Structure 1
Amino acid sequence: MHNDRQSSNWIAVCPLERIVPNTGVCALINDQQVAVFHVIDGGSRVFAIGNYDPNAEASVLSRGLVGSLGERIVVASPIYKQHFDLQTGECLEAPEHSVAAYPARIADGQVWVGI
């Protein structure tokens, strides 16, 4: 595992403790805004999706409210409240406005995102 974390595909974003549980932050990775979320649901997990909300035409998803709809962990956009699945990037109300999802993990106390 250490080797692929060191490869150019994985980027260290920040220490996990810098992301308040059940919220997100925006990270600039390879000139792309990525919304990174720290979710506590029996344990700490991290998710990463594109930060740009195509419904609102604004880079705001990292500031949305984290919650769940059924089995899905989602973020509600702070502007029009559409829900984006944190695992897939799918916009539940308007699938044509889905965003990219990126692999994310916690290792050595750091949040890593795969690009």
Structure 2
Amino acid sequence: MVQALPIRETITQWVDICPLTAIAPNTGVCALVEGKQVAIFRVGYEADVFALGNYDPFSKTFVLSRGIVGDRNGIPKVASPIYKQNFNLLTGQCFDDETVSIPTFPVRVVEDKVQVAVSK
């Protein structure tokens, strides 16, 4: 008889980063979340926020939070401030080199506070 392995549950906790108003529209900020640099972007003037890893794999530096926010064919993106590669803010996929992607993080705004999810 085969014994089933226990299912490992991941508990998601939300970490407060900053007030939404601390992020100017169409810009990003960097936050240290559970030891990882996370780039958090506010797109437009509403509460549309996205979170990606801050590490730019092309320049090998932590700079994506300083990138240029925009869109490509209606898809929100950030262009690296170093070599200008463009990353999809929804998926982390590089538009310019489909073999490269960066991690994304769940992010939300609750009572004007930007929060990023971490799994425990």
Determine whether 1:66 maps to 2:54: no
Task: Choose from 21, 27, 33 the match for 1:29.
Answer: 33
Higher helix content, 1 or 2: 1
Determine whether 1:111 maps to 2:114: yes
Question: TM-score, normalising length from structure 1?
Answer: 0.88
Alignment-mate amino acid for residue 109 of structure 1: D
1:11-26 alignment, distance < 5 Å: 11-26=15-30
Q: How many residues align?
A: 108
SS state at 1:114 partner: strand
- In 2, Cα distance between the equivalents of 1:51 and 1:86? 12
Runs of 4+ in 1 over 4 A off after TM superposition: none
Q: CA RMSD in A?
A: 1.3
Task: Choose from 44, 47, 72 the match for 2:47.
Answer: 44
Structure 2: runs of 5+ lacking an equivalent: 1-10
Determine whether 1:93 maps to 2:96: yes
Conserved? CA contact 2:77–2:87, under 8 Å: yes
How far apart are residue 96 of structure 1 and its match? 2.4
Identity of aligned residues (%): 47
Structure 1: runs of 5+ lacking an equivalent: 1-6
Task: Choose from 44, 54, 59 the match for 2:57.
Answer: 54
